[in-house]
């Protein structure tokens, strides 16, 4: 069987491939369910019960409890679905960016502005 | 035969929906973005396209990882925009153009693109916002055919393949037995990355080269692998694939040339380098 040569690592970047898709299925399925307001309310009412319903792994559940985006990614979360989890808590993309890069939100926004100069 | 009149490319950040809803177009943060649009409004008023074919990517509204098509074509009489989970207001449904959908589907499969057809399809902000930006007054005046390209789960289709796909969609439109005028929309990009410790990555040099290439050398970006494009544009910057499909569709029919009607480029809106481009097909 032909094996593929691993692609060079892009710094700070892990494309969401089959490995992540397998690892993160339960987590992403739960996040996909947050398209529904009813499901968002159910989650907020009892987060632990909701996570059990979707069969999250322990690292996934821990990352949800901590609202830690890098942990959620490592647990197989996909950015497009995780965004719906972040939305429940009113976090915008600069909150998320700041958390992942270890910056304050203002520092992160300044970095974006600087990229346009 | 239907007439291809041109193509429009724009970014589609969810926050734009909130800004439109709150009327913030002249707010200092938003003004450099929204000020790009009036010349395109004028062009659309003069050209009056009857149908829009929209190349876009779904953001986890319609498609989940249980079934993830590489290319999907809408074939519905209407497309509903529903709750996307992050609090932006849902917009009214888009009307479909089913005859053209099937013209495209039949031609793509004939050309050996093994697509997914969708007689029901929820469309997210990537479909609805470009139309709101291009037609700010009232409801959507034109029916659409949404064409979804997977940018959510790797492996993604190669740039070269997306270009061939876009060209085949253009061929189908050009062969459509109709007197209607058709424009293409590319929704997505340009450089941005939401996740990982490289979140906030933007690449102005590459974006500007890419936009220029669409005028002068449309196949330029097909030299890069998906991995290289992610490195250069970010994990969501890869949405530029939609722009490549749109440009390829314009190479079909009489006269492969285009003229630039207008362009705009502004950093940042949310975490994104925003691009805007209108190309008119010229013979």
Confidence of residue B255 (pLDDT cuts 50, 70, 90): low
- Does a structural domain hold residue A10? no
Q: Catalogue the E-assigned strands of B166-244.
A: 181-187
DSSP, collapsed to helix, strand or coil, labels residue B48 as coil
A96 CB near a chain B CB, below 8 Å? yes
Q: What are phi and psi of B168, to 5 degrees?
A: -65, -35
Which residue is it, tokens 């459509």? B176
Q: Taking residues B110-130, report their average pLDDT.
A: 97
Q: Which of A13, A34, A37 to mutate to test the interface with B (most CBs of B within 10 A)?
A: A13
How many alpha carbons lie under 13 Å from residue B102 in its C-beta half-sphere?
A: 6
pLDDT at A6 over 90: no
Task: State the residue range of the domain holding A79.
Answer: 18-89
pTM score: 0.97
Judge whether B192 counts as a catalytic residue: yes
Q: Give how many domains chain B has, as a whole number.
A: 1
Ranges A86-90, B37-41, B211-215: which has the least confidence = A86-90
CATH of the domain at B114: 3.40.830.10
Task: List b or e across B161-182, with b for residues whose CB sees 16 or more CB atoms inside 10 angstroms.
Answer: bbbbbbbbbbbbbbbbebebbb
Q: Evaluate whether A88 touches A39 at the Cβ level (below 8 Å).
A: no
**Order of strands, sheet of B3-10, starting from the edge strand that comes earlier in the sequence:** B116-118, B71-74, B144-149, B51-56, B181-187, B3-10, B272-282, B257-269
B60: nearest CB among A8, A80, A111: A80
Could you tell me if residue B259 is left (phi over 0), alpha (psi between -120 and 50 degrees) or otherwise beta? beta
Q: Taking residues B162-182, report their average pLDDT.
A: 97
pLDDT of residue A2: 56
Task: State the residue range of the domain holding B267.
Answer: 3-282
- Does a structural domain hold residue A11? no
pLDDT at A107 over 70: yes
Q: Which of B85, B152, B193 to mutate to test the interface with A (most CBs of A within 10 A)?
A: B85
Q: Give how many domains chain A has, as a whole number.
A: 1
Q: Which of B58, B86, B269 to mutate to test the interface with A (most CBs of A within 10 A)?
A: B86
Rounded to two decimals, the ipTM of the complex is 0.95
pLDDT of residue B152: 97
A72 CB near a chain B CB, below 8 Å? no
Confidence of residue B256 (pLDDT cuts 50, 70, 90): low
- Considering only residues A91 and B104, tell me which one the structure prediction assigns the higher pLDDT: B104
pLDDT of residue B277: 98
pLDDT of residue A14: 96
Q: Taking residues B229-251, report their average pLDDT.
A: 98
pLDDT at B178 over 60: yes
**A11: nearest CA partner in chain B:** B198
Q: Do A87 and B86 touch (CB under 8 A)?
A: yes
Which residue is it, tokens 């239907």? B2
pLDDT at B220 over 80: yes
B60: nearest CB among A32, A93, A108: A32
B268: nearest CB among A36, A92, A113: A113
Q: Do B154 and A15 touch (CB under 8 A)?
A: yes
Query: Measured between CA atoms, how close is A29 to chain B, in angstroms?
Result: 8
pLDDT at B88 over 80: no
pLDDT of residue A1: 54
Give the CA angle between residues B160, B161, B162 to the nearest 5°. 95
Confidence of residue B31 (pLDDT cuts 50, 70, 90): very high
> Mean pLDDT in chain B?
95
How many alpha carbons lie under 13 Å from residue B110 in its C-beta half-sphere?
A: 10
CATH of the domain at A27: 1.10.700.10
């Amino acid at each position: 069987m032909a094996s593929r040569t691993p692609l060079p690592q892009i710094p700070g970047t892990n494309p969401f491939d089959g490995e992540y898709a397998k690892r993160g299925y339960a987590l992403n399925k739960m996040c996909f369910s947050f398209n529904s307001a009813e499901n968002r309310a159910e989650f907020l009412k009892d987060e632990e019960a909701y996570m059990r319903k979707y069969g999250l792994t322990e690292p996934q559940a821990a990352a949800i409890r901590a609202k830690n985006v890098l942990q959620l990614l490592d647990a197989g979360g996909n950015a497009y679905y995780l965004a719906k989890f972040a939305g429940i808590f009113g976090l915008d993309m600069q909150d998320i960016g700041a958390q992942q890069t270890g910056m304050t939100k203002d520092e992160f926004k300044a970095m974006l502005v600087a990229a346009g100069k | 035969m239907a007439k291809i009149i041109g193509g429009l490319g724009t970014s589609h950040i969810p926050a734009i929906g909130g800004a439109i809803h709150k009327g913030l177009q002249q707010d200092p943060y938003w003004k450099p973005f929204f000020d790009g649009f009036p010349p395109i409004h004028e062009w659309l008023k003069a050209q009056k396209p009857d149908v829009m074919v929209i190349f876009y990517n779904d953001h986890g509204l319609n498609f989940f990882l249980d079934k993830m098509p590489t290319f999907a074509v809408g074939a519905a009489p209407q497309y509903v925009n529903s709750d996307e989970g992050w609090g932006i207001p849902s917009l009214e449904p888009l009307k479909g153009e089913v005859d053209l959908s099937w013209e495209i589907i039949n031609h793509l499969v004939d050309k050996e693109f093994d697509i997914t057809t969708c007689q029901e399809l929820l469309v997210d902000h990537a479909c609805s916002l470009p139309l709101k930006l291009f037609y700010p007054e009232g409801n959507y005046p034109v029916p659409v055919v949404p064409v979804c390209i997977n940018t959510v789960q790797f492996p993604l289709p190669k740039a070269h393949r997306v270009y061939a796909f876009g060209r085949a969609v253009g061929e189908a439109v050009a062969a459509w037995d109709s007197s209607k005028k058709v424009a293409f929309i590319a929704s997505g990009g340009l450089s941005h990355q939401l996740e990982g410790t490289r979140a906030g990555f933007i690449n102005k040099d590459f974006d500007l080269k890419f936009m220029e290439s669409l005028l002068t050398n449309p196949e330029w970006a097909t030299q890069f692998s998906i991995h290289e494009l992610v490195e250069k544009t970010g994990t969501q910057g890869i949405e530029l694939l939609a722009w490549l499909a749109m440009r390829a569709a314009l190479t079909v029919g009489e006269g492969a040339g285009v003229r630039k009607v207008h362009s705009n480029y502004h950093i940042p809106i949310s975490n994104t380098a925003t691009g805007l481009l209108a190309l008119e097909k010229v013979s």
